Amino acid sequence: MRAAGIDCGTNSLRLLLVEGDDSGAPGTGTTPVPGAHSHPTPVELTRQLRIVRLGEGVDATGEFSAAALARTFAALDEYAGMIREAGVDPGHIRMVATSAARDVTNRDLFVAGVRERLGVDPTVISGDREAALSFAGAVRGLRVAGVKVAGPVLVTDVGGGSTEFALGDPDDEVRAPFVASLDIGSVRLRERTLPGDPPSQAEIIATRDVIDRALDASGIDFAAVREWVGVAGTVTSLMAVHLELSTYERDRIHGARMPLPALRSLADEFCARTIADLRRIPSLHPKRAEVITAGAVILERIARRLDVPGLLVSETDLLDGAADWALRGD
């Protein structure tokens, strides 16, 4: 059985093709997490990433621009070809759309374009569901890699439009943990409070204030956290820079830990550099250089609230949860 999971975020569009069985079902519990694994780990066939900036300008206009939709649909055309070539039945395709798709008034144009290319509608998931799927994907992936995760664990996904948090027991991934979704994302803050190149000190201070106020109101018990796990592009990109990789190496990033002082230093360094400077970093995707500074500041403000050994990075996340959901076909 082959399946395709697609994660459509504010900044990136990702595809995961897997092969496995569909005999599993979510484990028992008061609140099953869609995408939680209860059957053998699927075999990964291909994992793809395209930076499409679907959410570009959404914070200001409230709608997808024609250019952003065109970039996204062009990437989806590529993915649709890969899915057909892999022989995936439409019943085993799941596309989840997150923050940007939650915020727009012209979502129907997006949905129609996806349906035309994939034969299925995207599922626009809530921030809480996004956080729960990311928790399941991260915990499972680290366990498979032999990385021990202490609890309570806080899984954080810094996206383009929002940042998701899930706090729970790593040994009970099928129960929905405490989840929160905050409207602080790397694209949103870059456009709203951090437009300078490089940002001015006043912009940096204003951005920190926006993040701190959102964290204060989040209801997250930061004092209870014993392990902090970061997932998705902002976190993995920062780890690649921290490790001084000449090219992006997924195997070296998965399960690596960044000390909190190193994270704070990276955030300060990025704030002082122009986008052109950041694009010269060999392991950093050139299009991510436009928004990585805002993402680094978000992580730096979270780090100040935690007493943990460092930021543990997982290369498995929401996308893996979506692929597992596609494999089950429920």
The whole-number pLDDT of residue 24 equals 42
The whole-number pLDDT of residue 30 equals 27
CB within 8 A of 70, min separation 6: which ones?
none
The whole-number pLDDT of residue 32 equals 36
3-state DSSP percent of the chain in helix, strand and coil, to 5? 45, 20, 35
The whole-number pLDDT of residue 28 equals 24
Pairing verdict, β 311-314 and 257-258: antiparallel
Q: Answer yes or no: are the C-beta atoms of 302 and 121 closer than 8 Å.
A: no
Q: Any idea which residue has 């950041």 for tokens?
A: 278
The whole-number pLDDT of residue 34 equals 42
Q: Any idea which residue has 């799927």 for tokens?
A: 133
The whole-number pLDDT of residue 322 equals 87
Per-residue pLDDT of the chain (330 residues; tens, 9 = 90+): 899 999 998 888 999 999 987 554 332 222 333 444 445 577 889 999 998 989 888 878 889 999 999 999 999 999 999 999 999 999 999 999 887 787 788 999 999 999 999 999 999 888 788 888 888 888 888 888 888 888 799 999 998 888 989 998 887 655 557 888 898 999 889 989 999 999 999 999 999 999 999 999 999 999 999 999 999 889 999 999 999 998 888 889 999 999 999 999 999 999 999 999 999 999 888 888 988 999 999 999 999 999 998 999 998 888 888 888 888 877
The whole-number pLDDT of residue 40 equals 58
- Burial annotation 8-20 (CB, 10 A radius, 16+ → b, else e): bbbbbbbbbbbeb
Q: Quick one: tokens of 258?
A: 């960044």
Around Cβ 153, how many Cβ atoms within 10 Å?
A: 24
Q: Answer yes or no: are the C-beta atoms of 8 and 54 closer than 8 Å.
A: yes
CB within 8 A of 265, min separation 6: which ones?
none
Q: Answer yes or no: are the C-beta atoms of 119 and 90 closer than 8 Å.
A: yes
- DSSP structure string for 228-262: EEEESHHHHHHHHHHTT-SS--HHHHTT-EE-HHH
Calculate Rg over the CA atoms of the chain.
18
Around Cβ 222, how many Cβ atoms within 10 Å?
A: 17
